[in-house]
Chains A and B, each alone.
Chain A
């Protein structure tokens, strides 16, 4: 497996829709937020159909809530399955987190304790989702600002067990590792070493902000040097992956993101020379 066989893409955001519809943007794929397109019809669905005619599309969700103690929402799975059938996506992913419980939806990626009970629940939900979608999912490591005294294992041990139990793949957000390592005081290299790295299929690169006490996963800044360094470390260990810049706010002009993607390509290329 060589770095040159990896794919390099971008998260497709509203200010750049016209570029992806009308131009040959030099990317191998785009990723979209699934929920933005899980609507009945209209312009957004049309845009997605037309972009899909030009490029592979990864569906990245924020609302499946695999860590919910009250179960998955069947109507959510039905809508996502319909989108999957229409798009035939490169990947379908969501986060290791919870967003909702019965009667309440936070619309935020909230942390879970890494306990045996939570592992049972998340594993059951990932299996349920994979059955409903008819394909394996990728689960993304979250960034977090709260740890739990109840946790019985590390996040990477939890993810490794989840992969083993469900057959899911991993979406590794390098910035999230960096942010959580800073906030919780663990070694990011130990995190990477503890993952079943051969199951990483996709990589997110993003930036963050410095809060008063914590690093905040804002995804509104360029990828900073420490995240690039960690990415280089990861790329020496993974197989063929799909790498992308994930910018969610403070969206810059498309050429700025493409320049960042060129850096990602170059650093992946270093692996060949190493």
Chain B
């Protein structure tokens, strides 16, 4: 029996509990130890990646979905930190009539990704006076991500994260754009104003400050959008959510 054949049988035993594969590997109680380690580690990984989803759904409901996910999806990345990425979709699929479940999970995933995103210079308040704004171009910081929310999942997350009683799930009057990013090593989120959301979605690889002012004028019908642009620029620099393109 070659090494490849043994490892294929191990894979079948761990991920599918294939008894025939186990028999080919050999007898003894040790194989059960490995299978238990495999499943417990993946379940623990999902629980630690989605603590507020776990709190929202309750242990039994969350673990039922997690067990289904572990049965269906074997990890393939070198890092177990990648395994939880698809679980938000599994949660949303299990709760199609409760859209806050999927959105809460997506928010948790985005916050976790922001925590380990690439280190990169960001726009700060000290950059504001020294920058040639006729030439400067801005883009989202590497840690920043935009999410569309149709429910109050963010309010639920916030309450749960502070050990407070969460609000009842509710649909928003209209979808909003949420930004997640990292500031001073801490993952953050906030709801964007409508004009901010439109600008951030158009930043792409870089947008000049004059273009940002023009976009604000287009949206507001404002002949003098510079004031609003200045306020937003100061806010973005304070939050450190943008970078120079």
Q: Which residues of A contact B (CB under 8 A)?
A: 35, 38-46, 63, 65, 67-70, 73, 75-76, 98, 100-101, 103-108, 110, 112-113, 115, 117-118, 121, 144-150, 183, 211-214, 216
Contacts and interface: CB of A to CB of B under 8 A. Distances in A.
B236 interface: no
A98 to B, nearest CB: 6
Contact of A42 (B2, B4, B33, B185): B185
Nearest to A37: B116
B140 to A, nearest CB: 15
A113 B182 contact: no
B60 interface: no
Contacts of A41: 116-120, 142
Nearest to B118: A40
B6 A148 contact: yes
10 contacts: A40-B119, A68-B7, A70-B4, A101-B8, A104-B75, A106-B75, A108-B34, A117-B3, A146-B31, A212-B29
Contacts of A145: 28-31, 33-34
Given A38-B79, A42-B182, A146-B28, A108 B3 contact: no
B11 A104 contact: yes
A121 B6 CA distance: 14
Interface in B29-43: 29-31, 33-34, 37-38, 41-42
Interface string B182-206: 1001000000000000000000000
Given A69-B7, A146-B26, A106 B14 contact: yes
Contacts of A67: 3
Given A105-B78, A110-B7, A147-B28, 20 more contacts: A35-B80, A40-B119, A40-B142, A41-B142, A43-B185, A69-B3, A70-B7, A101-B7, A101-B8, A104-B11, A104-B76, A105-B75, A105-B80, A107-B38, A107-B83, A108-B34, A113-B3, A145-B33, A146-B34, A148-B6
A187 B119 CA distance: 50
Contact of A101 (B11, B37, B142): B11
B120 to A, nearest CB: 7
**Closest 9 A-B residue pairs measured CB to CB?**
A145-B30, A41-B119, A69-B4, A43-B185, A39-B116, A146-B30, A40-B118, A213-B29, A69-B3
B25 interface: yes
B6 A113 contact: yes
B110 to A, nearest CB: 14
B232 interface: no
A30 B115 CA distance: 24
A84 to B, nearest CB: 16
B6 to A, nearest CB: 6
A63 B34 contact: no
B1 interface: yes
Contacts of A63: 78-79
Contacts of B83: 107
A202 B243 CA distance: 44
A61 B143 CA distance: 26
A103 B77 CA distance: 8
Contacts of A44: 116
A38 B6 CA distance: 29
A214 B30 CA distance: 8
B74 interface: yes
B10 A110 contact: yes
A146 B25 contact: yes
A107 B41 contact: yes
A191 to B, nearest CB: 18
Interface in B1-21: 1-4, 6-8, 10-11, 14-15
Nearest to A145: B30
A44 B118 CA distance: 12
Contact of A105 (B3, B6, B76, B115): B76
B30 A144 contact: yes
B5 to A, nearest CB: 8
